[in-house]
Amino acid sequence: MSYTPPNSFTNGTVLTSAALEGNSEALRVYLHNGIIASDVENTPWIQTRHIQPPSYDAFTGVQHGVSGHQGGQWAGGVNVRLTFCSKYTTGGGRAATSIFERLSNSSFQIEVRQPNSIILYHYWYEAELGPDYSTGGGQVSTEEDRLVWIGPHLGSLDLVAGALASLQEAQNLQDAWNGVYPIGAVKSMPYTGGYASRDGTLLDFRPNIGTNTYGLIYHSQIDRAAVVNWGVAIEVYYL
Amino acid sequence: MSRIIRPAVQDGEAIDGPDLNTRFSDYTQTDLNAFNHRNAAYDLPQFERPGASLYGFLGKYQNSITLGKDDWKHTSSVTVSGTATSPPAAPYVVGDGVSPTVMNFGVAGQTVAANDVLRVYWDLSVYPHWIGSRPWATSDVNLISNGGGGSVAIGTNGSCWAFWLQWDVTSNALTNFVNVPDQGSFDSNLTGSIYGSALSDTMATSVVPAYIDRGNPSAGTLPHTPVQVAVGWRGISGAWYYPRTSGSQTIYGMRLVFTGVLLPYYNAGTSSNALVHDTAWADDARMSYNGGKLNAFIQRIG
């Protein structure tokens, strides 16, 4: 049914903020989600063509509509998209460095078209880390203490703005390479600490419209870590 | 039909009841028109779902704070010991080592109304470890034949620490934290001297292993002493949803608490599985942690 103000006002009576805000809130609810079938059918000035079809970006898997964004992407079934971390792009494993790099394939760049928007960026991944028992100078000396940090980031310039606290660690495989055939890790990953299954959600509030980037970043002290399965998803709600 | 064109209220003008009414009645169906409200303005969440009288999603409120001690390289961490007393002591509150971390929902709190859902997400960097050599060997092991007539004790790898959510629904003084619905404190006396919570009371819980013990079997036997593997620093995370189908609930604050070490346990009296305190080696257990995030989001779903 059409909007009906819940409160009316009379001269000479106290004007309360509750009554004023009550009308505004009811209007906000109606405009956002109070439209029923008869509003459209009885007065057919809203036609199907006026309902905005969401724009869909096949590359990022995200659609954008009037009320916000939603969508996601993942490693994929037969078309598995492995991604990786490496110490060689974040300081060579030196303990003193704090360099971050993007985790390939995990980012969204979205255009937020309403102020005061709420963004939730969800992520999960499985990774197999190391073994890295290299002896280069400056590295964390105890091999099992070498870590990879993976976490969410926002923004396009500062890779770690606002998200350092959400970095999650995973540990180097606690056995070195097998010296004889078959070459590989001496023990399988889940038994020796070199396997990580992590997930999390970043919540961000955007007071202004604009283009924003959400994705995963990493800092690695391990030479190679394969992110063998992963998925990211985004929800954006315009208030 | 025409656009709604009405001058804004100016400073110095008297507030007039009829004028105020008109400003709201402008938004009747008649005056909501193509120019101001129709063209490409509607999305599926705005429309009625047939038979359900519910509408789509809408964000109402969000809050995000940094949990614990924000030091991602662990230069300085918060460390506590396992809970060895019986009945168990109150859980630890995640904080920066000086003050607990509390999410404050404001003086008036935030209300989760009927057809709203509260969504909470958290993450934290943790490091479960221990002192001594395989301290769990007496209480948390399976005995496996060593192939020579004896046996070798290997940990069950079932021990864990549990983190869960509490909220304050009393006042903004934030002195009345209780567990969120469907969540226990792992301090219920299940039987004898066993204290814990049924798994049905762990709906807002994240667990992290307390240790890893690894054997190297051979032909069904365990000829070698198992190797203790450091769990190491790792990230943990959790999520909890609170849908409100009727009435409302005002929330003033939330926080994350934890206890340990816990063991899986089958409660024959209630035919249910539980996590219970393992006091036999809790004195040797340690939990260190640094930073994380606590996120809350109230969303209208109807």
ipTM value for the complex: 0.81
Of A31, A98, A168, the CB nearest to B123: A168
Put simply, the answer to whether A33 touches B66 (Cβ < 8 Å) is: no
Asked if the model's pLDDT at residue B1 lies above 50, the reply is no
* H or E, element range at B19: helix B17-25
The candidate with the shortest Cα–Cα distance to A119, out of A210, A197, A52, A199, is A210
Chain A CB within 8 Å of residue B95 CB: no
> What Å distances lie between residue B274 and A9, A238, B159, B172, B237, CA to CA?
59, 42, 12, 33, 21
Chain A CB within 8 Å of residue B300 CB: yes
Task: Kindly list the residues from chain A whose CB atom is less than 8 angstroms away from the CB atom of residue B28.
Answer: 2-3
Separation CA B177–CA B102 (nearest Å): 10
Chain A CB within 8 Å of residue B299 CB: yes
> What Å distances lie between residue B199 and B117, B181, B184, B202, B259, CA to CA?
23, 13, 9, 5, 15
A161 close to A154: Cβ distance less than 8 angstroms:
yes
Task: Kindly list the residues from chain A whose CB atom is less than 8 angstroms away from the CB atom of residue B208.
Answer: none
Put simply, the answer to whether A164 touches B70 (Cβ < 8 Å) is: yes
User: How high does pLDDT run on average in chain B?
Assistant: 89
pLDDT-derived band of residue B222, with 50, 70 and 90 as boundaries? Answer: confident
pLDDT for residue B51:
56
Asked if the model's pLDDT at residue B100 lies above 90, the reply is yes
% of residues, chain B, pLDDT over 70: 89
B219 close to B248: Cβ distance less than 8 angstroms:
no
* C-alpha count within 13 angstroms, C-beta hemisphere, residue B267: 21
Of A20, A50, A150, the CB nearest to B42: A50
Asked if the model's pLDDT at residue B43 lies above 80, the reply is no
Query: The whole model's pTM is what?
Result: 0.83
Task: Note the pLDDT tens digit of each residue in B223-253.
Answer: 888 887 778 899 999 999 999 999 999 999 9
Burial tier of B249 (Cβ tally within 10 Å: 0-12, 13-18, 19+): middle
B4 close to B22: Cβ distance less than 8 angstroms:
no
The string of DSSP letters for A28-71 reads HHHHHH-B-HHHHHTSTTS-GGGBPPPEEETTTTEEEETTEEEE
Separation CA B88–CA B93 (nearest Å): 15
Number of C-beta neighbours around residue B11 at 10 A:
4
Q: CA angle at residue A90 from A88 to A94, to 5 degrees?
A: 85
Number of C-beta neighbours around residue A52 at 10 A:
16
Omega of the bond leading into B88 within 30 degrees of 0 (cis): no
The candidate with the shortest Cα–Cα distance to B59, out of B118, B123, B121, B122, is B118
Lowest mean pLDDT among B32-41, B56-65, B113-122, B202-211: B32-41
Q: What phi and psi values does residue B44 have, to the nearest 5 degrees?
A: -55, -40
B164 close to B294: Cβ distance less than 8 angstroms:
no
Put simply, the answer to whether B237 touches A201 (Cβ < 8 Å) is: yes
- Contact residues, B window 238-277, toward A, CB-based 8 Å cutoff: 239
The segments of chain A whose pLDDT lies below 50 read: 157
Helices (H) and strands (E) in chain B, counts: 1, 20
- The three-class DSSP label of residue A154 is strand
Q: Where are the domains of chain A?
A: 1-51, 57-238
Separation CA B98–CA B277 (nearest Å): 26
A57-238 has which fold? Answer: Jelly Rolls (2.60.120)
Task: Kindly list the residues from chain A whose CB atom is less than 8 angstroms away from the CB atom of residue B18.
Answer: 9, 11
- Contact residues, B window 194-223, toward A, CB-based 8 Å cutoff: 212, 214
Selected for mutation to probe chain B from A168, A189, A198 (highest B CB count within 10 Å) is A168
Number of C-beta neighbours around residue B211 at 10 A:
23
Number of C-beta neighbours around residue A4 at 10 A:
14
- The three-class DSSP label of residue B89 is coil
Six token digits for residue B35: 């120019």
